[in-house]
Amino acid sequence: MLFNQLKRRELITLIGGAASAPVLLLPLAAHGREDGPMRRVGVLMGLEADDPESQARLAAFAQGLQQAGWSIGQNLRIHYRWGAGDADNMRKYAAELVALAPDVILAHSSAAVGPLLQASRTVPVVFTLVADPVGAGFVNSLAHPGGNVTGVTNFEYAMSGKWLGLLKEVAPHVKAVAVLRESAIAAGPGQFGAIQAVAPVLGVDVRPVDVRDAGQIERDITAFARVSNGGLIVTGSPTASVHRELIIGLAARHLLPAVYNSGFYATSGGLLSYGPKFVDQFRRAAAYVDRILKGERPADLPVQAPTKLELVINLKTAEALGLTVPPMLLARSDEVIE
C-alpha cells in the first residue's frame, strides 16, 4: 500500500505547505533516470491541505498514477492548490493552475470545475465528485462529453431522496428536516429538489439551509434545533466537508438525527451515511489522467458513474441520540461503527 511507502506525517509535509505555492510530491518509486519529458499535472482541491480526507484521496490518486507507470518527481510533476471551501480561493487558484499550462488538471467537485472552465476551455480537466456534469454545463452528455472536461460523477440527484428515506427509517419521529446544501454549485439546488420531491410522501417538511461559512452554519442549525422532531441531511458540498466536525458536533449537541452523503462523515461521528467511496473516485480519476497524458482527449472519454454506494451506520452515535437502529437497516449496511 502507498502509506507503507510514505508515512502520514511525510505526506502532510509533501502535499501541505502554502496553498498558493506549487507543491512537488517526491518520487514514490525507486530513484532512476527520467523516462522522457517531465509532464505536469495540476490539482485543485476543495478541502484543506492537512485534512485527512485530502491526504487519503490524493494518496489514492498518486497510487493510481504510479500503477500506470508514472513516477512523481521523475517523469511527472504535480502542482497543488487548496480552496478550503472558499469560492474566491477556488477562482484564484484555478487561474493560477491554468497559467502554469499543465497537461491536465484534476478538479475536486463542481466548485473546482466551474472556475477552471472560466479560466480555460482548452486545458484538459478530469473531475471527481460532480453530481450533474450535464446540468452544470460541464459536458455535453455523459457518453460523449465534448470539450475539455470529463471525469467521475458521485451520484445522481434521484439518490438524494434516499437520504430522507433513510432518515425516517432510523428516526421515524422526525417531521422537519434541515437540508444543508451549497447553492453556489449546481448540485446544491439539484439535491434539495430531489429531497423535496419525496418529502410529502414521507410526511416531512424540508427546509434548505445554505452552506457558506462556519458562523452561518452554526447560527442556522442552532435556530433550526428549536423545532420539534427535527433532523438533518447534509448533501454533497465541499464547504460542508470542510466544516464537517462543526456540523457533526452541532447535530450531537442539539440531538438532531442526521444523514450524510459519504462514509467519512459517519466515521467522524455522524449517525448514518449513504454514498460512494470518494477515495475510489480519485483512484479512477488517475486512470483518466494517465490516458490524457498518453494522448487521448477528454471529449472522447465517457463520464464514469460510481461503481458502489455504501451505507455506514454509527451505533455509538445512535445510542447517544437515544435511537434504536432497525435490524433490517443494520442488515443492509456495508459498515457498522460500534
Average pLDDT, integer, range 207-221: 94
pLDDT tops 80 at residue 174 = yes
Which has more pLDDT, 322 or 10? 322
Which has more pLDDT, 20 or 280? 280
> What residues have CB less than 8 Å from 201, skipping those under 6 apart?
none
- Least confident stretch, 1-15, 28-42, 224-238, 279-293: 1-15
pLDDT tops 50 at residue 48 = yes
Q: What is the pLDDT of residues 98-134, one digit of tens each?
A: 999 999 999 999 899 999 999 999 999 999 999 889 9
pLDDT tops 50 at residue 11 = no
| Cα 269-273-275 angle, rounded to 5 deg | 140
> What residues have CB less than 8 Å from 295, skipping those under 6 apart?
none
- What is the C-alpha separation between 90 and 115, in angstroms, rounded? 7
- For the chain, give the percent of residues with pLDDT over 70: 89
pLDDT tops 90 at residue 181 = yes
